[in-house]
Amino acid sequence: MTQDEAAQTYAPGKAEGTLTGLGFADPDGRSRGESLGERLLGSLLDRAHLMPPRLVGPLVAQEIAAMGGSDVAIYLQDFEHAVLRPLRGAGLGGRPEPIDGSYAGTAFRTDSPCEVPLPGGGIRLYIPMLDGSDRVGVLGLTLPQVDDNDRRLAQRIAGLTADLVVTKSGYTDTFARTRMSSPMSLSAHLQWQMLPPLVMTTPDIALAGALEPAYDVGGDSFDYSLDEHTLHLAVFDAMGHGVEAATMATLLIAAYRHGRLSGSDLPDIYAEMDAVMGTSFPGRFATALVGRLETATGRLTWVNAGHPPGLLIRGGRVIGELAGRVSRPVGFGDARPHVHSTTLRPRDRVLFFTDGVVEERLEGGAQFGERRLREFIEANAVHELPPAETVRLLSHALLRGRGGRTSDDASLLMVEWSGPPRDDELARDVPTAVPPGTVLG
């Protein structure tokens, strides 16, 4: 194939016959020469493949410094979602920053970059580090001046840094240790190892979950999976506390995932969890809620095995409960599940939670209660916060209300259905397909 033939094949939108590439080509005729941004991101990616986890932060700082940036800080959120803790290493700075009440925290809470002009000149940038939509932390750096090209490149560096942290976390404790503000119990460690990402967002679905107390949770947990146009979700509460409850919950999640992966329907998944619990932990039980949301229609189906009913939220107000006959907790054996369903409207939210949320005792001895839970949801609706921030604030309200003490574990899982997917889901102009504040190229 000649160069002319290659140009005709690979660059149909080229300007005035300009050859933009022999293989990859830009339909708009842009040069295939390496730009500053491609050079920085490409160098980061190429060098990171074999880089040990302890050098990921210094590598990012080195590459940013080579391109004119300074004062690099990589902040990771702690397990209580209250403090951003700086990663340590050569070329890295920063100190712990509260998520509520700091510039770095503002970027984290809003999933949007925050710019701060410095007294001596220059601009301090705080860019959220998002792995997909999961909040990993915040990248901080200083530039002499900033335009949209700088903002776009900084966001992409932050995204790549988040991906590197998450990928390398599979074989290091470096990042988990950075995130710890307090010692973690063995039971909590078991639960955190089983959790999916706490936040998941697509153009059709926004989901967020939380566990309390973060460093000492026992039998509470949640799980989810998005396959094709079906969101699978579950919330669990194993009987008791400590390692035994965490072990029960771990087995329960494994049974749930096994049934889900096998394509079982909700009654069969319930039956499998019931049988596994009954044979593995005789005389013990666990409450659970398993459900499915069809994202094309908004149809929500669930089995509630002993949990408080989920709350349906519409227009910022709690309009009802996901009521219906409650199934027996799993572990007793031979129970028949009761399946219920409802159809959500676009922008509806559903909050699932364990009894530890409403039964938690406040300092005066009164329970937090469902009334306070509803009031909190409706009071915060005026701020139009995404589920991730709503759940974070709710978990902190529970923490403040009990004065730092706990009498039970608590799990929260909030889901918002935005509406059916567009026919052209891969179109470049889908406004909700990128995080807020993204500067597009």
Q: pLDDT tens digits, residue range 315-346?
A: 989 999 998 999 999 999 877 899 999 999 99
For position 115, which CATH number holds? 3.30.450.40
151 and 297, same structural domain? no
147 lies in some domain: yes
* Residue 435 belongs to some domain of the structure: no
Query: Is residue 143 in some structural domain?
Result: yes
Assigned domain for 106 exists: yes
Residue 40 in any domain: the answer is yes
Quick one: 164 and 202 in the same domain? no
Residue 360's pLDDT is what? 67
Residue tagged 């999640």 (tokens): 253
In a domain, 424, yes or no: no
Task: Check whether residue 162 and residue 276 sit in a common domain.
Answer: no
Tokens, residue 347:
């922008």
**Residue ending a domain, choose from 123, 151, 176:** 176
Q: What is the pLDDT of residue 8?
A: 44
Residue 31 binned pLDDT confidence (cut-offs 50, 70, 90): low
Q: How far is CA 133 from CA 149, 162, 206, 253, 432, in A?
A: 22, 10, 9, 23, 12
pLDDT digits (tens, 9 = 90+) for 131-174: 988 899 999 999 999 999 999 999 999 999 999 999 999 999 99
pLDDT (average), residues 77-86: 94
Residues 65, 206 within the same domain: no
Q: Considering only CA atoms, which of 431, 415, 31, 32 is closest in space to residue 231? A: 415
Whether 394 is in a domain gets the answer yes
In single-letter form, the type of residue at position 437 comes to G
172 lies in the same domain as 188: no
Q: The pTM is what?
A: 0.87
Task: Compute the average pLDDT of residues 418-428.
Answer: 82
Which DSSP helix (H) or strand (E) runs through 398?
helix 387-401
Task: Answer yes or no: do 215 and 130 share one domain.
Answer: no
CA distance 303 to 325: 9
Domain range for residue 148? Answer: 23-176
Are residue 140 and residue 254 in the same domain, yes or no? no
Asked if residue 231 and residue 146 are part of one domain, the reply reads no
Q: Which residues pair with 74 in a beta bridge?
A: 139
Q: Are residues 372 and 322 in the same domain?
A: yes
Number of structural domains in the chain: 2
Q: Are 41 and 158 contained in the same domain?
A: yes
With CA atoms as reference, report the closest residue to 343 among 432, 420, 233.
420
Q: Residue 178: which H helix or E strand, with range? A: helix 174-179
